[in-house]
Structure 1
Amino acid sequence: MAKLELQNLRKQFAPSVVPVKDITIEVEDGEFLTLLGPSGCGKSTLLRLIAGLEQPTQGKVTIGGKNVTSVPPGKRNISMVFQSYALYPHMTVFENISAALKLRKIPREEIEKRVNDVTQKLGLEHLLTRKPGQLSGGQRQRVALARSLVRDPDIFLLDEPLSNLDALLREQVRADLKQLFETQNKPVVYVTHDQIEAMTLSDKIAVLCDGYLQQLASPHEIYTAPANKFVAGFVGSPQMNLITLDCQGNHAVLGDYKIFLPQLKTQPHQVILGIRPEDISLGDIETGETIAGHLFLVEDFGKEKLLSVRVNGSDQTLRVMVPADRTWEGEMITISLIKKQLHWFYVETGDRLN
């Protein structure tokens, strides 16, 4: 068992530089956790704290029930894959993969068996005699992964390993990663700012912003029930519509229209309405809040079109995602906001209303 526990971790470099602020997370055996957030949110620093490359200002790191906060990186039995591959250019693929095993004085026969097993899984068996300069970007990334896997660590740490790959190759290696780590019964902590990687690879996602944990949940819950305005706006492409509305009684006012609010003990003066573009339909539907507006922009995505609609009686704009073959007449159109897909947030805190 190699459960990973982070308890009240904080890292402060200077009075005004605090990239990690009081973060508590648990990662079970076989669980794939992604640290997701924009640049500067603290995700790479948090990974370095787990690895032992940085010492926390406060809090502790526990692996398999053992406090390793003061244990040096080399004695934590972790494996880390870097964004830059970090391969030895003068060594062959075999030598790069086996380097850590040789340092641990593992017998030659055992080294060869482990290297052969992992290279077959990653499709590298025909490249063992080549050097990194003779490999493509995708092949170099797989060598870095093989070097990580061959060690049989307690925990896998990956720091934006796909960011140097082109879009097509990233898609292929992402699929390889998902299959590969499904067979490893070890905690995996993966850092990325790419929400597609986070959504497709993870069992759980930790969304970070300004050093704080914003939400820790499954990809489905992060997408369908964001904890606050930041998570709602950061996860999803195209971005969720987020508009500030005045309240009248138990309704929010959007231009010429009133939208029923969830029941609350105290009704706020203003709220933020959130709805994803794909949760708005063209035309009038029974399960929706029907609104009319002026269509002023159409963006063609190939399989879909993104419409920008200015709501009647206001300067508020809603973006609507429709199938590419959907048609309409004129610039004045009717749209329906699917009621069960409405999200509400407090203006003051950004927290979820209901």
Structure 2
Amino acid sequence: MAILKLHSLRKQFAPNVIPVKDISLTVDDGEFLTLLGPSGCGKSTLLRLIAGLEEPTSGEVIVGENNLTRTPPGDRNMAMVFQSYALYPHMTVAENIATSLKIRKTPKEEIQQRVGAVTDTLGLSHLGDRKPGQLSGGQRQRVALARALVRKPEVFLLDEPLSNLDALLREQVREELKQLFEAQQKPVVYVTHDQTEAMTLSSKVAILLDGLVQQLDPPGRIYTHPANKFVAGFVGSPQMNLLSLECKGDRAILGDFSIPLPSFSVFPSAIDMGIRPEDLSIATEEDKITVEGNVFLVENFGRELLASVKVNGSKDTLRILVSPDREWGKEAIKLAFNRDRIHWFDAKTGDRH
């Protein structure tokens, strides 16, 4: 079994350039961990630290019982798939896949057997004699994956491998990746800024910002219980409605309306509230938490519409998903809140209440 452990990893390039500040996490056999965050959050640097392409300022990288912190990348038995595919243009598909085995002086018969097995798995058997320039983007990505799989590494590292593919092909390859790595049962660390990839592929997601892990949880929990205001706003499409509200007693004030707060030992004077567009609905007489406003924008998402509503008595806007079965214009509307799906965040720290 190979378990990847990171202990207090830190990388500092200059006094004020610290892309990875203090990260500790564990990736078990068969776990698919995605590092998700905006550009510059430290996710690619962290992946390079795991691979040995960067040396940490402090901290440790451990696989199984072996401390690999100072081990050269070629001796770590990790396979990395890059965004750019990094295929040798003068070599055939089969030669590209076999490169790492030849470097390790693997017997010729074993190379043929392992290359044959992985090309069968990825549907590349009929392309073995072609060169990268004769392949589509999806085929080249499969060759890059095959080159990683054929090594039988202890850990797989993937750095935005789908970003060069068009949307339709990205969806197809994403499905293949999920099935492929479920069968491998090895630790996988995957870097992306695409939340759809993170939510669909991962068993765990680490949300990064400014070199720190903001939340490490299964995708479902990150969506339903974001640890702070940043995670709440970063994960989810359409984005969560996030409002900064004043409080009066046990209620938060939203324009001409008020929303009951959860139980606090001391009620705050201000609070940040979040609610996803799908957790708002058109109000009925039975609904208890409601606000009124006017629709000023409707965006068509195909199976549903996203309506933007200016709340009466406020500059704040709420966005709600509505049915495309009727025409929506600039009209008055009454919205109801699902009380169990309201998220509350500290106005100063942004942490979840």
Same fold by TM-score greater than 0.5: yes
Give 2:46's aligned amino acid: L
Distance (Å, rounded) in 1 between the aligned partners of 2:329 and 2:317: 19
Range that drifts further, 71-80 or 283-292: 283-292
Q: CA deviation at 1:342?
A: 0.3
Q: Report how many aligned residue pairs link the two structures.
A: 353
The answer for the alignment partner of 1:51 in structure 2 is: 51
Give 2:307's aligned amino acid: L
SS of the aligned residue for 1:153 comes to coil
Give 1:265's aligned amino acid: S
Deviations 1:135-184 (A, max 9, x none): 01110000000000000000000000000001111011101101100101
Q: CA deviation at 1:264?
A: 1.4
Q: CA deviation at 1:330?
A: 6.4
Give 2:152's aligned amino acid: D
Contact 1:280/1:335 (CA < 8 Å) preserved in 2? yes
Q: Are 1:89 and 2:84 counterparts?
A: no
The answer for the alignment partner of 1:184 in structure 2 is: 184
The answer for the alignment partner of 2:4 in structure 1 is: 4
Contact 1:285/1:336 (CA < 8 Å) preserved in 2? no
Q: CA deviation at 1:287?
A: 5.6
Distance (Å, rounded) in 2 between the aligned partners of 1:266 and 1:119: 63
Contact 2:296/2:330 (CA < 8 Å) preserved in 1? no
SS of the aligned residue for 1:98 comes to helix
The answer for the alignment partner of 1:123 in structure 2 is: 123
Q: CA deviation at 1:329?
A: 7.9
Structure 1: which 5+ residue stretches go unaligned? none
SS of the aligned residue for 2:289 comes to strand
Where do 1:16-31 residues align within 5 Å? Answer: 16-31=16-31
Range that drifts further, 125-134 or 307-316: 307-316
Contact 1:288/1:338 (CA < 8 Å) preserved in 2? no
Q: What is the aligned-residue identity percentage?
A: 66
Distance (Å, rounded) in 1 between the aligned partners of 2:327 and 2:336: 15
Deviations 1:266-297 (A, max 9, x none): 21110001001111111226466211111111
The answer for the alignment partner of 2:162 in structure 1 is: 162
Q: Are 1:68 and 2:68 counterparts?
A: yes
SS of the aligned residue for 2:45 comes to helix
Shift >6 Å, 4+ stretches: none
Contact 2:294/2:330 (CA < 8 Å) preserved in 1? no
Give 2:228's aligned amino acid: N
Give 1:96's aligned amino acid: N
Deviations 1:178-228 (A, max 9, x none): 110010110000000000000000000000011110000000000000000
The answer for the alignment partner of 2:332 in structure 1 is: 332
SS of the aligned residue for 2:318 comes to strand
Q: CA deviation at 1:323?
A: 2.5
Contact 1:30/1:188 (CA < 8 Å) preserved in 2? yes
Alignment CA distance shift 1:84-1:299 (3 Å): same
Output the TM-score relative to the length of structure 1: 0.98
Q: Are 1:102 and 2:102 counterparts?
A: yes
Distance (Å, rounded) in 2 between the aligned partners of 1:313 and 1:88: 63
Contact 2:298/2:328 (CA < 8 Å) preserved in 1? no
The answer for the alignment partner of 1:195 in structure 2 is: 195
Aligned-residue Cα RMSD (Å) equals 1.2
